């Protein structure tokens, strides 16, 4: 992903964090502003994203479910990062002509210091960055009035936050803790968290349509990117190979139901995920060979319509 230090781009961190215990630790986001008050006119925002980034995928899912296409345009980075970090299809993004994501971050501040990551939401009207924290963007955009359903209704917030915290630490980031571990012990801790969480969700979904009842919420959209990547990437590339998503009847049906929602399939790019997660890496894939499989049909009927959900199911 690269980073900038005092406005200078580096593809590698000159002073990486200590990893003496072998554990992977995700660094905090550095741009965290609120959406502006008042009317939000068409075309005001521009989202820097990448198809294979699960954190950007969260925001793309909210954009699809809320029908925010007119409000937010999107620049999609190439599947594999280069010596310039994330770069854009056709050489430039459509708004500012940036050829690499760090050019956008240079507009945040001339002396910007921090990771160069997607998603990054830009406000054209104020010519400033809104946020590069996906959790903040999901909540702000998901509760935007006048644009589709409220994905974090007040009466569900406690349930949503409990699921979000658990799923982020043990599953969304758990697959990375397993895949980027530098010791056997660190890998096993991440691995066990991943499958304990999948087992828990599988049991929960036996009697629940969605994570927080009978309505889709942001918790479901924060879970889905990990499910979409699990069998094509995490199972193999990150050694999360105890079970596959398709081995969980309830989770697999639930994932297919989400995939079938209007606009969601268009945010999913299985072949791009494989290109990204199996890109050349001295530690994980030194030859850079991209597997041809697996061949999985996400369009088969999900049979989730039969479920009824108890009020307050958490």
CATH of the domain at 206: 1.20.1050.10
pLDDT for res 20: 54
Same domain membership, residue 21 and residue 72: yes
Say whether pLDDT at 293 is over 90. yes
71 in a structural domain: yes
In a domain, 12, yes or no: yes
Q: Parallel, antiparallel, or unpaired: how do β-strands 3-5 and 114-115 relate?
A: antiparallel
Write down the pLDDT at residue 305: 84
Does the residue 20 lie in any domain?
Answer: yes
Of 142, 169, 190, which residue is a domain's last?
142
Which run of H or of E encompasses 185?
A: helix 184-204
Q: What is the pLDDT of residue 8?
A: 80
Whole-number pLDDT of residue 18: 40
3-state secondary structure (DSSP) of residue 285: strand
pLDDT at site 24? 65
Mean pLDDT along residues 66-94: 86
Q: Kindly state whether residues 58 and 169 are assigned to the same domain.
A: no
Band of pLDDT at residue 12, cut at 50, 70 and 90: low
Structure tokens at 8: 């200078």
Say whether both 175 and 110 belong to one domain.
no
- The answer to which of 34-43, 50-59, 292-301 has the lowest mean pLDDT is 34-43
If asked whether residues 123 and 164 sit together in one domain, one would say no
What's the pLDDT score for residue 21?
61
211 and 253, same domain (yes or no)? yes
pLDDT (mean) for 209-235: 97
Higher-confidence position of 145 and 25 = 145
For residue 296, pLDDT beyond 80: yes
Q: Which of 142, 164, 191 is the last residue of a domain?
A: 142
Note whether residue 53 is domain-resident: yes
Cβ(175)–Cβ(233) under 8 Å? Answer: no
* Active site amino acids: 53, 176
Residue 288 lies in a domain: no
Confidence of residue 248 (pLDDT cuts 50, 70, 90): very high
Q: Which domain does 33 fall in, by range?
A: 3-142
- Of 2-6, 78-82, 158-162, 275-279, least confident by mean pLDDT is 2-6
**Residues of the chain with pLDDT > 90: what percent?**
67
Beta strands in 111-191 (DSSP E): 114-115, 120-123, 128-131
Say how many domains are in the chain: 2
- Statement: the pTM of the whole predicted model exceeds 0.95: no
pLDDT tens, residue by residue, 137-166: 999 999 999 999 999 999 999 999 999 999
33, 138: one domain: yes
Whether 120 and 25 map to the same domain: the answer is yes
Residue 54 resides in a domain? yes
Domain CATH for 137: 3.40.30.10
Residues 25-36, mean pLDDT to the nearest whole number:
76
Whether pLDDT at 243 is above 50: yes
* pLDDT at site 32: 78
Contact 111, 6 (CB under 8 A): yes
Same domain, 90 and 190: no
Q: In terms of domains, do 134 and 169 share one? A: no
Residue 3, strand partner residues:
10, 115
* Mean per-residue pLDDT, 175-198: 97
Q: Are residues 166 and 223 in the same domain?
A: yes
Question: Could you tell me which residues come within 8 angstroms of residue 166 by beta carbon, excluding any fewer than 6 positions away?
Answer: 197
| Mean model confidence pLDDT for the chain | 89
Shared domain check, 57 and 32: yes
pLDDT of 95 reads: 76
* 97 and 134 fall within a common domain: yes
Q: Which of 136, 248, 155 is CA-nearest to residue 202?
A: 248
Name every residue whose Cβ is closer than 8 Å to that of residue 185 and which is 6 or more positions away in sequence.
22
Band (187; pLDDT cuts 50, 70, 90):
very high
């Amino acid at each position: 992903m690269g980073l900038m230090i005092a406005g200078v781009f580096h593809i590698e961190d000159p002073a990486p964090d200590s990893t003496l215990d072998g554990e992977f630790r995700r660094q905090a986001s550095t741009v965290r502003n609120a959406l502006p008050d008042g009317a939000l006119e068409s075309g005001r925002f521009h989202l820097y994203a990448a198809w294979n980034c699960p954190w950007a995928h969260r925001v793309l899912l909210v954009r699809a479910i809320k029908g925010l296409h007119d409000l937010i345009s999107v620049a999609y980075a190439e599947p594999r990062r280069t010596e310039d970090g994330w770069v854009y299809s056709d050489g430039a993004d459509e708004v500012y002509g940036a050829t690499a994501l760090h050019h956008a971050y240079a507009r945040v501040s001339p002396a910007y210091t921090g990771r160069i990551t997607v998603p990054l939401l830009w406000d054209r009207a104020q010519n400033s960055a809104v946020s590069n924290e996906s959790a903040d963007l999901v909540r702000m955009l998901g509760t935007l009035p006048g644009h589709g359903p409220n994905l974090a209704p007040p009466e569900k917030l406690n349930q949503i936050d409990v699921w979000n915290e658990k799923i982020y630490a043990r599953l969304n980031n758990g697959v990375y803790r397993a895949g980027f571990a530098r010791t056997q012990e660190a890998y096993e801790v991440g691995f066990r968290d991943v499958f304990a969480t999948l087992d828990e969700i599988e049991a929960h979904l036996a009697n629940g349509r969605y994570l927080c009842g009978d309505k889709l919420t942001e918790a479901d959209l924060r879970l889905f990117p990990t499910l979409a990547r699990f069998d094509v990437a995490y199972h193999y590339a990150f050694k999360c190979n105890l079970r596959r998503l398709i081995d969980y009847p309830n989770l697999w049906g639930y994932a297919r139901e989400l995939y079938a929602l209007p606009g969601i399939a268009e945010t999913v790019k299985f072949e791009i995920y494989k290109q990204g997660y199996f890109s050349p890496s001295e530690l994980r894939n030194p030859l850079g060979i991209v597997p041809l499989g697996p061949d999985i049909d996400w369009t088969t009927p999900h049979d989730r319509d039969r479920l009824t959900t108890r009020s307050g199911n958490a």
